[in-house]
Amino acid sequence: QLGSPSALADAVTERRLRAAAARGGHTLYVPRGALWGCEDIARMDSAGTLQALKVTMTKAPGSFRPQGWLSPRVAAAVASGTRTVLYEGPLRPLCPLVPNNVNAMAAAALAAPRLGFDGVTACLVADPSVPDCHIVTVEVTAVPERGRALTVTSTRRNPAEPGRVTGSATRHSFWSSVLGVACTGHGGCVKLC
Protein backbone atom coordinates (compact mmCIF):
# COMPACT_ATOMS: atom_id res chain seq x y z
CA GLN A 1 0.00 0.00 0.00
CA LEU A 2 1.12 3.51 -0.80
CA GLY A 3 -0.10 6.27 1.50
CA SER A 4 0.83 9.30 -0.58
CA PRO A 5 -0.36 9.04 -4.19
CA SER A 6 1.29 12.35 -5.12
CA ALA A 7 4.58 10.40 -5.17
CA LEU A 8 3.34 8.69 -8.34
CA ALA A 9 3.36 11.99 -10.23
CA ASP A 10 7.05 11.22 -10.68
CA ALA A 11 6.96 8.93 -13.73
CA VAL A 12 10.14 7.07 -12.73
CA THR A 13 8.77 6.30 -9.27
CA GLU A 14 5.49 5.11 -10.75
CA ARG A 15 7.25 2.83 -13.26
CA ARG A 16 9.47 1.35 -10.54
CA LEU A 17 6.56 0.65 -8.18
CA ARG A 18 4.46 -0.89 -10.94
CA ALA A 19 7.39 -3.06 -12.03
CA ALA A 20 8.11 -4.20 -8.46
CA ALA A 21 4.45 -5.10 -7.92
CA ALA A 22 4.33 -7.00 -11.22
CA ARG A 23 7.57 -8.90 -10.47
CA GLY A 24 6.21 -9.99 -7.11
CA GLY A 25 2.76 -10.81 -8.41
CA HIS A 26 1.22 -8.16 -6.17
CA THR A 27 -1.12 -5.24 -6.57
CA LEU A 28 -0.37 -1.74 -5.33
CA TYR A 29 -3.27 -0.13 -3.50
CA VAL A 30 -3.57 3.59 -2.88
CA PRO A 31 -6.16 4.86 -0.39
CA ARG A 32 -8.36 7.59 -1.84
CA GLY A 33 -8.12 9.89 1.17
CA ALA A 34 -10.25 13.02 0.64
CA LEU A 35 -11.35 12.12 -2.90
CA TRP A 36 -15.13 11.83 -3.09
CA GLY A 37 -16.60 9.85 -6.00
CA CYS A 38 -13.50 7.77 -6.70
CA GLU A 39 -15.41 4.67 -7.77
CA ASP A 40 -17.64 6.61 -10.18
CA ILE A 41 -14.62 8.31 -11.74
CA ALA A 42 -12.91 4.94 -12.18
CA ARG A 43 -16.01 3.38 -13.76
CA MET A 44 -16.38 6.25 -16.24
CA ASP A 45 -12.68 6.12 -17.12
CA SER A 46 -12.81 2.35 -17.61
CA ALA A 47 -15.84 2.69 -19.89
CA GLY A 48 -14.16 5.43 -21.92
CA THR A 49 -16.90 7.93 -21.07
CA LEU A 50 -14.80 10.34 -18.99
CA GLN A 51 -13.79 13.41 -20.98
CA ALA A 52 -12.53 15.80 -18.29
CA LEU A 53 -11.80 15.86 -14.59
CA LYS A 54 -10.96 18.92 -12.50
CA VAL A 55 -10.17 18.90 -8.80
CA THR A 56 -10.08 22.19 -6.89
CA MET A 57 -8.66 22.31 -3.38
CA THR A 58 -9.36 25.39 -1.30
CA LYS A 59 -7.61 25.86 2.02
CA ALA A 60 -6.48 28.68 4.27
CA PRO A 61 -3.03 29.91 3.16
CA GLY A 62 -1.41 28.57 6.34
CA SER A 63 -2.49 25.02 5.50
CA PHE A 64 -0.14 24.77 2.52
CA ARG A 65 3.43 23.44 2.75
CA PRO A 66 4.73 24.80 -0.57
CA GLN A 67 8.09 24.26 -2.18
CA GLY A 68 9.88 25.84 -5.13
CA TRP A 69 8.24 28.60 -7.11
CA LEU A 70 4.92 28.10 -5.30
CA SER A 71 6.35 29.32 -1.96
CA PRO A 72 6.34 33.03 -2.87
CA ARG A 73 2.79 32.75 -4.24
CA VAL A 74 1.56 31.31 -0.95
CA ALA A 75 3.49 33.99 0.98
CA ALA A 76 1.85 36.67 -1.18
CA ALA A 77 -1.59 35.13 -0.51
CA VAL A 78 -0.89 35.22 3.22
CA ALA A 79 0.21 38.86 2.99
CA SER A 80 -2.74 39.95 0.86
CA GLY A 81 -5.38 38.28 3.00
CA THR A 82 -7.50 37.69 -0.09
CA ARG A 83 -8.65 34.59 -1.97
CA THR A 84 -5.90 33.66 -4.43
CA VAL A 85 -5.74 31.02 -7.15
CA LEU A 86 -2.24 29.66 -6.63
CA TYR A 87 -2.23 27.26 -9.57
CA GLU A 88 -4.51 25.96 -12.29
CA GLY A 89 -3.32 23.49 -14.89
CA PRO A 90 -2.14 19.88 -15.28
CA LEU A 91 -1.70 18.03 -12.00
CA ARG A 92 1.74 16.49 -12.59
CA PRO A 93 3.88 19.64 -12.11
CA LEU A 94 1.92 20.64 -8.99
CA CYS A 95 2.50 17.43 -7.02
CA PRO A 96 6.18 17.95 -6.16
CA LEU A 97 5.47 21.55 -5.08
CA VAL A 98 2.85 20.66 -2.44
CA PRO A 99 3.02 16.88 -1.99
CA ASN A 100 1.35 17.04 1.43
CA ASN A 101 -1.62 18.98 0.07
CA VAL A 102 -2.64 17.31 -3.20
CA ASN A 103 -3.07 13.61 -2.46
CA ALA A 104 -6.80 13.70 -3.24
CA MET A 105 -5.93 15.17 -6.64
CA ALA A 106 -3.36 12.43 -7.20
CA ALA A 107 -5.92 9.79 -6.25
CA ALA A 108 -8.20 11.27 -8.94
CA ALA A 109 -5.44 10.90 -11.54
CA LEU A 110 -4.98 7.26 -10.52
CA ALA A 111 -8.73 6.62 -10.65
CA ALA A 112 -8.75 8.04 -14.19
CA PRO A 113 -5.61 6.60 -15.81
CA ARG A 114 -6.75 7.60 -19.32
CA LEU A 115 -6.40 11.22 -18.18
CA GLY A 116 -3.68 10.59 -15.60
CA PHE A 117 -1.49 13.22 -14.00
CA ASP A 118 -1.19 15.17 -17.26
CA GLY A 119 -4.89 15.18 -18.13
CA VAL A 120 -6.47 15.90 -14.74
CA THR A 121 -6.81 19.63 -14.15
CA ALA A 122 -5.72 20.81 -10.72
CA CYS A 123 -6.74 24.10 -9.16
CA LEU A 124 -5.19 25.16 -5.87
CA VAL A 125 -6.80 28.06 -4.00
CA ALA A 126 -5.64 29.87 -0.87
CA ASP A 127 -8.62 31.40 0.91
CA PRO A 128 -8.33 32.97 4.37
CA SER A 129 -12.13 32.89 4.75
CA VAL A 130 -11.98 29.10 5.34
CA PRO A 131 -9.59 28.80 8.31
CA ASP A 132 -11.19 25.67 9.76
CA CYS A 133 -11.96 23.49 6.74
CA HIS A 134 -10.55 22.23 3.48
CA ILE A 135 -12.84 22.27 0.46
CA VAL A 136 -12.37 19.72 -2.31
CA THR A 137 -14.49 20.25 -5.42
CA VAL A 138 -14.51 17.52 -8.05
CA GLU A 139 -15.91 18.35 -11.50
CA VAL A 140 -16.52 15.43 -13.84
CA THR A 141 -17.48 15.82 -17.50
CA ALA A 142 -18.52 12.86 -19.64
CA VAL A 143 -17.91 12.42 -23.35
CA PRO A 144 -20.79 14.24 -25.09
CA GLU A 145 -23.56 12.28 -26.75
CA ARG A 146 -25.51 14.14 -29.44
CA GLY A 147 -24.05 17.43 -28.28
CA ARG A 148 -24.90 17.02 -24.61
CA ALA A 149 -22.73 15.72 -21.78
CA LEU A 150 -23.27 14.50 -18.26
CA THR A 151 -21.58 16.72 -15.70
CA VAL A 152 -21.26 16.07 -11.98
CA THR A 153 -19.84 18.44 -9.39
CA SER A 154 -19.31 17.42 -5.80
CA THR A 155 -17.99 19.60 -3.00
CA ARG A 156 -16.57 18.17 0.20
CA ARG A 157 -16.08 20.48 3.20
CA ASN A 158 -13.64 18.70 5.47
CA PRO A 159 -13.22 20.13 9.00
CA ALA A 160 -9.58 20.99 9.71
CA GLU A 161 -7.61 22.57 12.49
CA PRO A 162 -6.04 25.88 11.41
CA GLY A 163 -2.69 25.30 9.74
CA ARG A 164 -3.16 21.55 9.21
CA VAL A 165 -2.49 20.10 5.75
CA THR A 166 -5.14 17.39 6.16
CA GLY A 167 -8.71 17.62 7.37
CA SER A 168 -10.03 15.43 10.17
CA ALA A 169 -12.40 13.40 7.95
CA THR A 170 -9.52 12.45 5.62
CA ARG A 171 -7.88 10.39 8.35
CA HIS A 172 -11.04 8.29 8.74
CA SER A 173 -11.44 7.88 4.97
CA PHE A 174 -7.78 6.87 4.61
CA TRP A 175 -8.01 4.36 7.43
CA SER A 176 -11.24 2.79 6.16
CA SER A 177 -9.57 2.37 2.74
CA VAL A 178 -6.62 0.58 4.34
CA LEU A 179 -8.90 -1.65 6.41
CA GLY A 180 -11.03 -2.41 3.35
CA VAL A 181 -7.99 -3.73 1.50
CA ALA A 182 -6.81 -5.72 4.50
CA CYS A 183 -10.23 -7.32 5.02
CA THR A 184 -11.56 -7.77 1.49
CA GLY A 185 -8.66 -7.34 -0.87
CA HIS A 186 -9.96 -4.17 -2.51
CA GLY A 187 -11.77 -1.72 -0.21
CA GLY A 188 -11.97 1.93 -1.15
CA CYS A 189 -8.52 2.16 -2.67
CA VAL A 190 -7.36 3.14 -6.08
CA LYS A 191 -5.88 -0.02 -7.54
CA LEU A 192 -2.87 0.22 -9.80
CA CYS A 193 -2.36 -2.73 -12.12
CA 1 from chain centre, in angstroms, equals: 17
Rounded-to-integer distance, Cα 75 and Cα 155, Å: 26
CATH class of residue range 35-169? alpha beta
Give me the pLDDT at residue 136, please.
92
Give me the pLDDT at residue 80, please.
93
In the chain, where the domains are located = 35-169
Is this structure's pTM higher than 0.85?
no
- Give CA angle at 49 (47, 186), nearest 5°: 45
| 28-31 vs 84-90, strand pairing mode | unpaired
Q: What is the mean pLDDT of each run of 10 residues along the chain (193 residues)?
A: 72 80 76 78 95 96 93 94 96 93 90 94 95 92 93 90 60 56 42 42
Please report, for residues 14, 99, 173, the alpha-carbon distance to residue 93 in angstroms, rounded to integers and kept in the order given: 15, 11, 26
Strands ordered across the beta sheet of 151-159: 84-90, 121-126, 50-59, 133-142, 151-159
End-to-end CA gap in the chain: 13
